[in-house]
Amino acid sequence: MTSDHSSDHPADPTLSHTLSHTPRRWIAHLDMDAFYASVELLRYPQLKGQPVVIGGRRADAPRQDESGQWHYARLRDYTGRGVVTTSTYEARALGVFSAMGTMKAALLAPDAILLPADFDAYRRYSRLFKAAVAEVAPVIEDRGIDEIYIDLTDVPGVHDAVGHDPLGGVRAVAREIKNSVTRATGLSCSIGVTPNKLLSKIASELEKPDGLTVLTEADIPARIWPLGVRKVNGIGPKAAAKLGEMGIESVGELAAFEPRLLIERFGKSYGAWLHAAALGRDSRPVVTHSEPVSISRETTFERDLHAVRDRAMLGRILDELCERLAADLARKGYAGKTVGIKLRFEGFHTVTRDQTFPTPVQTAAEIRRAAGLCLKRVDFDKRLRLLGVRVGHLVAPGEARTATAKPVPEATGPAAENLPLF
């Protein structure tokens, strides 16, 4: 059930707005609820209400026998070094969260159902929900596959009162966005709406799942200050630990702390930001477009692979990464002049190599040849646990391509003969 919340508590004297004054800006943060897991539940609705973990291998895909009975992989049967991509709220109640090692998750929730990730499906649903939002409020900052910021300030009706509710207009617009997302995708989302991005990010988490939280600056003491400092985006575990050493656990305690002492401990820039963030101050605009620096694909292997004995498998993996990367570039309308590789060896030693060309590359074959040139400069003295490919120095495909453009040279010759891989 969707819940709307705004506090009736009076504002702190240090805060500039009250409930009687509608903020000049309304910024929303929309976060899809357990996005990857929710997409999978559309495919397997019979799993709703159960602890489900996304992060398995293709072999972990559900299968249906001749009688129509479904059979699912369970966490207890998993072996390997994979990590949890996401989990349903039922699995989270058992302690299983994203980025957790899958083997550790199996100890906490052995009977949870394990599904493989389908990123093509997730990207498709991501495009659907963002298009649905744009129909209502077109000023959007894309923050990833499952979250966006939305500037609602100029959306018709957002500043209107509804009855005795001065915030009724902004609530109505937020509900319309939520309904549009559900109609387009069958999925739920949570929205926080406040005068700025920092507060909206926090607010979107307050009533998950399927939440709608509208706050003004007057609500900060009652709704934000009791929260732990980690709830503020930009305060990570190291900063939180330092704040804890200073006796600061909550956002309210941070707001009340002497700014000078924060600056002494954290430096001028970050110390001043900590104080401003605790007071809910944030002037950042909603950025509607930004150019990516690079586009990459990588994969972690289920077992460490040997450069010689597993040469064929590594070659197939590299081919697939290059094909997926080329598809990403084509879909986003980019080519790139720099191709790089990333290798992580046993012991977690990571090596990167890249090479820049006078003309951009985009096709899988071009990326593959360029990656081969990079690989010639790596000493494969240990087993591999991760392989990645990146294209940077991005340009529009037609910008630097001419009739006289030289193709990426083949990774051949005497130097290539010494390459034990691919």
- Whole-structure pTM over 0.75, yes or no? no
Amino acid residing at 194: T
208 vs 23, more confident: 208
pLDDT tens digits, one per residue of 223-272: 999 999 999 999 999 999 999 999 999 999 999 999 999 999 999 999 99
Per-residue pLDDT, 268? 94
Per-residue pLDDT, 398? 56
What pLDDT sits at residue 250?
97
Give the percent of the chain with pLDDT over 90: 68
CA pair distance 418, 351, nearest whole angstrom? 18
* Lowest-confidence segment of 16-25, 102-111, 227-236, 280-289 by average pLDDT: 16-25
> Residue 353: which residues within 8 A CB-CB, separation 6 or more?
340, 341, 374, 375, 377, 378
Can you tell me the distance from the alpha carbon of 48 to that of 318, in angstroms, rounded to the nearest whole number?
36
Identify the CATH homologous superfamily for domain 294-417.
DNA polymerase, Y-family, little finger domain (3.30.1490.100)
What is the residue-wise DSSP string for 314-363? HHHHHHHHHHHHHHHHHHHT-EEEEEEEEEEETTS-EEEEEEEEEEEE-S
pLDDT of 267 reads 94
- The one-letter amino acid code at 8 reads D
Can you tell me which residue has the tokens 């998950």? 208
pLDDT surpasses 60 at 94: yes
Whether the bond between 226 and the residue before it is cis, its omega within 30 degrees of 0, is no
Q: Report which listed range, 73-82, 123-132, 324-333, is most confident.
A: 123-132
pLDDT of 278 reads 97
Q: Which residue has the higher pLDDT, 341 or 60?
A: 341
Query: Quick one: pLDDT band at residue 397, thresholds 50, 70, 90?
Result: low
Residue 27 has which token pair? 């910024």
Domain extents in the chain: 4-31+123-192+217-278, 35-118, 294-417
- Catalytic residues, which ones? 147
Q: What mean pLDDT is predicted for residues 82-102?
A: 91
> What's the start-to-end Cα distance of the chain, in Å?
53
In the prediction, which pLDDT does 400 show? Answer: 47
The Cα–Cα gap between 155 and 172 comes to 11
35-118 against 294-417: fold identical: no
CATH class of the domain at 4-31+123-192+217-278: mainly alpha
Mean pLDDT computed over 204-219:
95
Task: State the average pLDDT for the chain.
Answer: 87
Residues β-bridged to residue 329: none
Res 24: pLDDT? 84
Q: Per-residue pLDDT tens for 54-72? A: 987 888 889 989 998 999 9
74-95 as b/e: b if 16+ CB within 10 A = bbeebeeebebbbbbebbbebe
Out of 4-13, 59-68, 145-154, 295-304, least confident range? 4-13
The topology under which CATH files domain 35-118 is: MutS, DNA mismatch repair protein, domain I (3.40.1170)
Which of 2-6, 52-56, 303-307, 324-328 comes out lowest in average pLDDT? 2-6
